[in-house]
A and B are shown apart, each in its own frame.
Chain A
Amino acid sequence: AQTVTQSQPEMSVQEAETVTLSCTYDTSESDYYLFWYKQPPSRQMILVIRQEAYKQQNATENRFSVNFQKAAKSFSLKISDSQLGDAAMYFCAYRGNFGNEKLTFGTGTRLTIIP
């Protein structure tokens, strides 16, 4: 079974600085999808960024980018120019391909932005 590990329960960063959240996963599949979701205090799950394993290029969405290391099974999220609105829980998630419906989540990292 696939597992997703987020080893940083809490992180903090100064406003306008850069922070990197770590995620590792375990799988025997070669084709899969990885996601980062943001959960602010409102509880809403918001998709931040996604990466397809067969694409070597790292995904980017404005201030958010990932460092995808397939061989190391690592998928970290970098947030540049951190803003107060980035404060939230961040979840890393994995989904296999070929009919695999299950989205497996890590335990989350709580990010605090220091003004």
Chain B
Amino acid sequence: NAGVTQTPKFQVLKTGQSMTLQCAQDMNHNSMYWYRQDPGMGLRLIYYSASEGTTDKGEVPNGYNVSRLNKREFSLRLESAAPSQTSVYFCASRTGNKDYGYTFGSGTRLTVV
């Protein structure tokens, strides 16, 4: 099915470990986003990529890096995981057409112990 695919769906890390969350979309969307969701705080933007080759910081970028590998793929890397990064992470994409909303992946639940 067309949409946004995130891997993995669940992950447990030890403090200090690194990992990369993968995201791919097959809708030919220009823009891609990484959000984190914490209880009582809604979704907050970590990084986004308005087009292939560009990335920009969002509201909560500290401790994360991103790579827009090509138009389809946008990865999120945690270099040294901390317990404060325990969260549910969502990738999303959007066309450049202003009339459309965002399509979200199914999320990755990350626990840092």
CB distance from B72 to the nearest CB of A (A): 18
CB neighbours of A108 from chain B (8 A): 42
CB distance from A104 to the nearest CB of B (A): 8
Q: Determine whether the beta carbon of B48 is less than 8 Å from that of A101.
A: yes
Q: Determine whether the beta carbon of B102 is less than 8 Å from that of A47.
A: yes
Q: Tell me the number of A-to-B contacts counted with CB atoms below 8 Å.
A: 49
Q: Determine whether the beta carbon of B44 is less than 8 Å from that of A45.
A: no
Q: Determine whether the beta carbon of A102 is less than 8 Å from that of B58.
A: yes
Q: Determine whether the beta carbon of B99 is less than 8 Å from that of A43.
A: no
Contact of B42 among A50, A97, A101, A106 (CB under 8 A): A106
CB neighbours of A104 from chain B (8 A): 45
Closest to B100 in A: A50
Query: What CA separation (Å) do A45 and B37 show in the bound complex?
Result: 11
How many residues of chain B get a CB closer than 8 Å to chain A's CBs? 24
- Tell me, yes or no, whether A11 is within 8 Å of chain B by CB: no
- Tell me, yes or no, whether B74 is within 8 Å of chain A by CB: no
CB distance from A111 to the nearest CB of B (A): 15
Interface hits, B91-106 → A, CB 8 Å: 92, 98-99, 101-102, 104, 106
Known: A43-B107, A91-B43, A108-B42. A103 touches B88 (CB 8 A): no
Known: A105-B43, A107-B41. A50 touches B98 (CB 8 A): no
Which residues of B line the A interface, CB within 8 A?
Answer: 31, 33, 40-45, 48, 50, 56, 58-59, 88, 90, 92, 98-99, 101-102, 104, 106-107, 109
Query: 7 extra interchain contacts, Cβ-Cβ under 8 A, other than A97-B98, A104-B45, A105-B42?
Result: A33-B98, A35-B101, A44-B106, A47-B102, A91-B43, A102-B48, A103-B33
